[in-house]
Amino acid sequence: IRIAVINGPNLNLLGVRQPEIYGYDTLADLESQMRAAAGNNAQLSFMQSNHEGEIIEEIHRARNEADAIIINPAAYSHTSVAILDALNTFEGKVMEVHLSNIHKREKFRHHSWVSGRADAVICGMGMAGYLAALNYLMAS
């Protein structure tokens, strides 16, 4: 299975950005943990962008080159109909992941546009959420 892992704005600063909320592991740590978990059972691609249009273009790329998407759209979850529309053009499984429990935080984080397309939504498990999504996809 080919899986595109897409991380949205500010997640390049994982490990140093509000570690009390997002933890001390970096995006590079996430990639190595996921690659170790995938072994030869999944082909992973990783992309992070602070730009909405680049995330949309990565989703378009995934239309031809991936069987599933694991996406943390970060703040764009709460604002971006454009990312929702892009995901609606993708035919494979979409797993939405948030490190923090968005429902336990400010009200403006409670709604995610992407959840209207996601096959599953995982939040509040930190990086373990991405690994849960990966294990689910590898088993399905």
Give the count of residues interacting with ligand DQA (CB under 6 A).
10
| Cβ within 8 Å of residue 19, ≥6 positions away | none
CA distances from 117 to 73, 86, 113 (A): 13, 10, 8
26-34, 85-93, 97-105, 130-138 -> range binding ligand DQA (CB under 6 A): 97-105
Indicate whether 74 belongs to the interface with ligand DQA (CB under 6 A). yes
Q: Cα 135 to chain center, whole Å?
A: 14
Indicate whether 121 belongs to the interface with ligand DQA (CB under 6 A). no
Annotation marks residue 98 as catalytic: yes
Indicate whether 26 belongs to the interface with ligand DQA (CB under 6 A). no
Indicate whether 48 belongs to the interface with ligand DQA (CB under 6 A). no
Q: Which among 132, 131, 139, 5 is positioned nearest to 68, based on CA atoms? A: 5
32-40, 59-67, 92-100, 132-140 -> range binding ligand DQA (CB under 6 A): 92-100
Cα first-last separation, the chain: 10
Tokens of 8: 């949205």
Annotation marks residue 51 as catalytic: no
Indicate whether 98 belongs to the interface with ligand DQA (CB under 6 A). yes
CB of 106 to ligand DQA, least distance (A): 8
**What order of strands is seen across the sheet that includes strand 120-123?**
43-48, 2-7, 68-72, 93-98, 120-123
The residues of the shown chain that bind ligand DQA, judged by CB under 6 A, are 10, 72, 74-75, 77, 98-100, 102, 109
Tell me the catalytic residues. 22, 98
